[in-house]
Amino acid sequence: MSGPAPEPLASGLPEGVRSRFVDAVNGLRMHVLEAGFEGPERPALLLLHGFPELAYSWRKVMPILAAAGYHVIAPDQRGYGRTTGWDGDYDGDVASFRLFNLAQDALELVFALGRRRVAAVIGHDFGSPVAAHCALIRPDVFASVVLMSAPFAGTPAAGPAAPPASDIHADLAALIPARKLYQWYYSTRPADGDMRRARQGINAFLRAYYHAKSADWPGNRPHPLAGWTAQALAELPGYYVMPLDAAMAETVAPLAPSPRQAAACRWLPEAELGVYAGEFARTGFQGGLNWYRCSTSGMNARDLRLFAGRAIEVPAMFIAGAADWGVHQAPGALEAMAKRACARFAGSHLIEGAGHWVQQEQPQAVADRLLAFLGR
């Protein structure tokens, strides 16, 4: 990432939440938000955001968790926001965005803060598999894990991987209308520019994207899918299984809220949306998109083979919005998480009145679930 070093986030934070930098975190200067930082005796919680999010995505739950006695830490992860030291070039160091290295970032942040253990690592969206890797690899440091909005299906079975039964991309392209998976679109060179320089402007693009994946959009009525087939995946909304020749900005544009609806959005008022728009206008999206490239290229799956047959052994829980299609976008993952991936699974909780951005749409309900889990 090039350009002048940004300052800490100066405004838009709730009372009791501060912004600062932590140096020498796996090669990064990491920007973090903190709450409940008054004393070292407080147990720590590490909150990991997803795409396209920031540490700021946790602003609504941080004061609630801090008031319950926790030191709450939320970083801008590698590729995002005011954290620097990462390579944002499409032709740059993509491998540094592998899940194993993102877990290393989390581990080194914990150590840099003078901790040797956190009570829980909590990950949302693409932060969920990062949290899962943290708990899988270093259970001595990450004492429990909460996965949010993206189920973790677990490690591969021991032995050679079975080849796919068919080419899902060719099958989707053969549908009428032809479709493609959003993860593979996010892995293409044009994706960053398509969103950063969206025809409607980055602010309007993000408003449409966040609205379309929230409980505010009436088209979100998720249900389990029959399997990993083109016909089943085509039941997902267009922001997951996109029109073959479309970019994401034009895909979500027809789903944008009206000006009146946007003005009435309590969970993401215009000033808060402006924080996201300002940060992504400055940094672009390529850092976050490189996470997807590590997934679609198979790098993450190859790394995870080292833990073949192993389950997450610390206590685990899943939270998502009841209107979140992300719960079902990988058919079978929700069930695999409960039955195989987590040895001490404490249940799945779907929050009413929330879609994909569950900790922003219903922060009190999410905090209540987290505190009940931690209280066990």
CATH value at residue 53: 3.40.50.1820
pLDDT for position 80: 98
Q: Enumerate the active-site residues.
A: 125, 356
Whether 4 is covered by a domain: the verdict is no
**Do 255 and 334 belong to one domain?**
no
- Under DSSP, the state recorded for 118 is B
Closest residue by Cα to residue 318 from 89, 153, 105: 153
| Average pLDDT over all residues of the chain | 96
The contacts of residue 31 (CB under 8 Å, 6+ apart) are: 6, 8, 9, 19, 20, 21, 55, 75, 76, 81, 82, 83
pLDDT for position 204: 98
Q: Model confidence at 4, in pLDDT bands (50, 70, 90)?
A: low
**Do 233 and 282 belong to one domain?**
yes
Whether 109 is covered by a domain: the verdict is yes
**Residue ending a domain, choose from 232, 261, 289:** 289
Whether 284 is covered by a domain: the verdict is yes
Round to whole Å and give the CA distance between 187 and 294. Answer: 9
Round to whole Å and give the CA distance between 96 and 98. Answer: 6
Q: Tell whether the model's pLDDT for residue 5 goes beyond 70.
A: no
pLDDT for position 8: 78
**Do 269 and 323 belong to one domain?**
no
Whether 9 is covered by a domain: the verdict is no
* Alpha-carbon dihedral sign for residues 304, 48, 67, 268: negative
Q: Model confidence at 40, in pLDDT bands (50, 70, 90)?
A: confident
**Residue ending a domain, choose from 232, 257, 289:** 289
Length of the chain: 376
Whether 1 is covered by a domain: the verdict is no
* Contact (CB, 8 A) for 273 and 203: yes
Residue 354: helix, strand or coil by DSSP? coil
Tens digit of pLDDT for each residue in 43-99?
999 999 999 999 999 999 999 999 999 999 999 999 999 999 999 999 999 999 999
Total structural domains within the chain: 2
Whether 239 is covered by a domain: the verdict is yes
pLDDT for position 166: 83
pLDDT for position 325: 98
**Do 127 and 103 belong to one domain?**
yes
- Domain span at residue 207? 168-289
Whether 294 is covered by a domain: the verdict is no
pLDDT for position 7: 85
* Contact (CB, 8 A) for 131 and 122: yes
Residue 208: helix, strand or coil by DSSP? helix
C-alpha to C-alpha distances, 178 to 64, 172, 219, 299, nearest whole angstrom: 45, 6, 20, 27
**Do 148 and 176 belong to one domain?**
no
pTM of this prediction? 0.97
Q: Tell whether the model's pLDDT for residue 177 goes beyond 90.
A: yes
Round to whole Å and give the CA distance between 238 and 249. Answer: 11
**Do 97 and 228 belong to one domain?**
no
Tens digit of pLDDT for each residue in 312-355?
999 999 999 999 999 999 999 999 999 999 999 999 999 999 99
Higher pLDDT, 38 or 216: 216
DSSP result, 12-27: SPPTTEEEEEEEEETT
**Do 212 and 329 belong to one domain?**
no
Q: Which of 111-125, 158-172, 292-306 has the lowest mean pLDDT?
A: 158-172
pLDDT for position 3: 54
Q: What percent of the chain has pLDDT over 70?
A: 98
Whether 45 is covered by a domain: the verdict is yes
Q: Tell whether the model's pLDDT for residue 158 goes beyond 70.
A: yes
